[in-house]
Structure 1
């Protein structure tokens, strides 16, 4: 038996007794002795997946189904309506810019005490912008660009508000597993609703398909009313008194968010040019994508769940390293097998997004999660605006092999920096947040 003794005051002694893996705290003060068992209570399913969380996850799911159904056919409808390819491309850029500008105000909106009305409002707003895009937006290239830009505002506000509020309902002890379950269901449903969207569009036209997608949004709105909006977890997020366009920025975690944002450059290269590279080298990318689709689903679930058992930092660093190595392999791959290996590694690596979110959420206080979420997305948007042009320039000036090598450096540097200083940056952010509270 081992005893660790230290003095609290002149008349107090604590003796910590460790025996058979149980901690028994013996507190001696003024001749009185008390004992308390330090064993950690086991998690109960009902404590993790509360009624409110389950309902809100379904709301999130249905809202995303509505959006995914529309995005599946909107560009098809635009092309059929005579919208030029240049206009569709320009609209994609203005969409991203609008989304970027909306991130910060959206993050600040979550501090309202009228969260039920907020959730209903943002779901309605996004669907209305999608409906206008699918109707009035098809009248000309100019109108398409205008309404696509407005749609970017709707997409951004929902993409911040709903996940941010959902994050406050998550139990930190099983956050990874919760995300894993939702991600798996969402990934499965995404393919189904996109297929449904295209099917309805092809059979009944874009207006009917857009209206049909509204059914998911309506179901989400109705379900919102079954939640308990007086939940203590939801009430923890309160206004901070800050105003302005960037009032939703959480400067305490800005540094680590920018560091993680470096991975966007490598991710963008893979998303935009892997298929092009395979085509140029005569590699059958279709069969490779079929294989990686399965791997993506399995790894997405496993990686999120793993964050409940080991530090998310280690999972994140692993995904960064794998993405970097896979990118280098792809740049040099001349055969099907080598390209397959590189694509598998990159598929695993590009799953870093959810891990970044878990890393941030587990480090910050629940009331900080909405602003941290908005800040992370804001930084990602900034990198996304320049990453496309950057990797395109790399390929034009350096060729594919060297461009892939250079682009891999961004995510590999992020891996090293997060491994070395990630926890320190998180701790600093926590300390600054507590000081401001």
Structure 2
């Protein structure tokens, strides 16, 4: 590993992540429209398509983490690219709900494997003394794709129809695969695995879940529950406020706030430790949710996006950095899988909870109580990591120097 952050391979893995997540968010908003308009489906079926995708990704990630340790990162990464591009191509041939559902499961498997492998690759590429900064920029790729994916997706399906929409989707995956193929992945020492050994060992829970990363990942699970209310219902809330035209700019402001803050937050994380960055980020997240609950016009609505972007957008890569750092180098694949699966579980469970609460108490009240919930996250963070932050940081440094 070199001491520079912006190496060829780091840039390529960031680009690969960007295009894969761009495709993910692009299809997240367009597949329900395609189902309803072209396949005469309904909203309940559209929700089921989202669910099976998430379930497939969550289930495959810990298994992919074990495969990385057994067969090597490069092989699992190449397999994930093949599955992902194959799934993107097969969308041209979906003509029924069942075929689309099966394909979403396959695509979810590919997505789960790609995110696990790219997360492991980037963790291995970043110099230890720049982990916070490097993971911050890597996370920024996902945040930017979150803003651009839905924008281009809605533009494509509304202006040019589903065939062109799937064509653009496929092209984005091709670019992501090409950038991925040029990443130089160092050969790793892997566990000797035989067919007999695999049968004997099976899927051990300790191999599927990296326990050292699980405790830290629960922090992200907690805040992902709050974040799910933004992903799932902020556009519905904007319609209630008669701010439909402004809603499309919410995630643009969110990303702009992230881009401005990213050079500082990542470096401060490396220099001063997790507590100095994460606790103010939690407060920012809570302020953003409170402002959103009080929004009665475009200014407060968009201002809340900036605070939420600074908050969640910094909490997410910071906790991911910790989760990977506390794991041994050979367990980074499992740690990455554990982190993403825990976060996705939070978003999935949160979407159900906030959906029920939003219908009962209204979205303004939902976001108000979410701000209190987020602020209580300081206590959660303190007991799961904050009080041990300094000692864990020192032990990680000692392990890297050993």
- Bigger shift: residues 78-87 or 387-396: 78-87
Confirm or deny: 8 A CA contact 1:320 1:414 kept in the other structure.
yes
Deviation at 1:163, TM superposition (A): 0.9
Separation in 1, partners of 2:145, 2:53: 24
Q: More helix by proportion, 1 or 2?
A: 2
TM superposition shift of 1:135: 2.3
Distance 2:68 2:40 in 1: 37
Pairing 1:164–2:127 present: no
Deviation at 1:264, TM superposition (A): 1.2
Cα separation, partners in 2 of 1:298 and 1:237, compared to 1, 3 Å = farther
1:416 paired residue number: 379
What is the Cα deviation at residue 304 of structure 1? 2.5
Listed as ranges, the gaps of 5+ residues in structure 2 are none
Matched, 1:105 2:63: yes
Contact 1:312/1:355 (<8 A) preserved: yes
Q: What TM-score results when the alignment is normalised by the length of structure 2?
A: 0.80
Q: Measure how far apart 1:259 and its partner are.
A: 3.5
Tell whether 2:15 aligns with 1:61.
yes
Identify which of 281, 289, 303 aligns with 1:341.
303
1:130 aligned residue (44, 64, 88): 88
The answer (yes or no) to whether the contact 2:85–2:177 under 8 Å persists in 1 is: no
Cα deviation for residue 55 of structure 1 reads 2.0
Contact persistence 1:99–1:155 (CA under 8 A):
yes
Which structure: greater strand fraction?
A: 1
Deviations 1:321-364 (A, max 9, x none): 21112212322333444334333222221212111112323444
For residues 363-402 of structure 1, what are the structure 2 equivalents within 5 Å? 363-402=326-365
Match of 2:230 in 1: 270
Contact kept in structure 2, 1:184 and 1:301, CA below 8 Å: no
Residue aligned with 2:271, SS: coil
Q: Which moved more, 1:144-153 or 1:200-209?
A: 200-209
Match of 2:38 among 81, 95, 100: 81
Shift of 1:71: 5.2
Could you tell me how far apart the structure 2 residues matched to 1:66 and 1:316 are? 27
- Residues 271, 419 of structure 1: alpha-carbon distance in 2 compared, 3 angstrom cutoff: same
Alignment pair present for 1:229 and 2:186: yes
Q: 1:218 to 1:279 in 2, by over 3 A?
A: closer
Q: Pairwise mapping of residues 23-422 of structure 1 onto structure 2 (< 5 A)?
A: 46-49=2-5, 54-55=8-9, 57-59=11-13, 61-62=15-16, 64-65=18-19, 68-69=22-23, 72=26, 75=31, 77-78=34-35, 81-86=38-43, 87-132=45-90, 134-136=91-93, 138-184=94-140, 202=160, 205=164, 208-209=167-168, 211-220=170-179, 222-224=181-183, 227=184, 229-230=186-187, 234-235=188-189, 243-244=202-203, 246=205, 247-283=207-243, 285-286=246-247, 289=250, 290-351=252-313, 352-419=315-382, 422=385
Q: CA contact under 8 A between 2:70 and 2:190: conserved in structure 1?
A: no
How far is the alpha carbon of 1:105 from its aligned partner? 0.2
Shift of 1:235: 3.7
The CA deviation at 1:141 is 1.6
Tell me whether 264-273 or 144-153 shows the greater mean CA deviation: 264-273
Change (3 A) 1:218 1:414: closer
After superposition, the Cα gap between the structure-2 partners of 1:410 and 1:117, relative to the gap in structure 1 and judged at 3 Å, is same
Structure ID, larger Rg: 1
CA separation in 2, counterparts of 1:238 and 1:180?
Answer: 34
In 2: Cα distance, 1:89 partner to 1:221 partner: 31
Q: Deviations over 1:245-296 (max 9, x none)?
A: 7432012332332243111121112222333223323346348625444223
Secondary structure (helix, strand or coil) at the match of 1:58 reads: helix
Q: Is the 8 A contact 1:176 1:304 kept in 2?
A: yes
- The answer as to whether partners of 2:156 and 2:164 remain within 8 angstroms in 1 is no
Relative contact order, higher structure (CA 8 A, sep 6+): 2
Structure 1 residue 400, shift from structure 2 partner: 3.1
3-state SS of paired residue (1:124): helix
More displaced 10-residue stretch of structure 1: 72-81 or 139-148: 72-81
Are 1:326 and 1:344, in contact at CA under 8 Å, matched by a contact in 2? yes
Judge conservation of contact 2:212–2:323 (CA < 8 Å) in 1: no
Per-residue CA shift, 1:59-102, capped at 9, x if unaligned? Answer: 45236425624752552555553252433321111111111111
Judged with a 3 Å threshold, the aligned counterparts in structure 2 of structure 1 residues 248 and 333 are, in CA distance, closer, same or farther, namely same
8 Å CA contact 1:65–1:189 kept in 2: the answer is yes
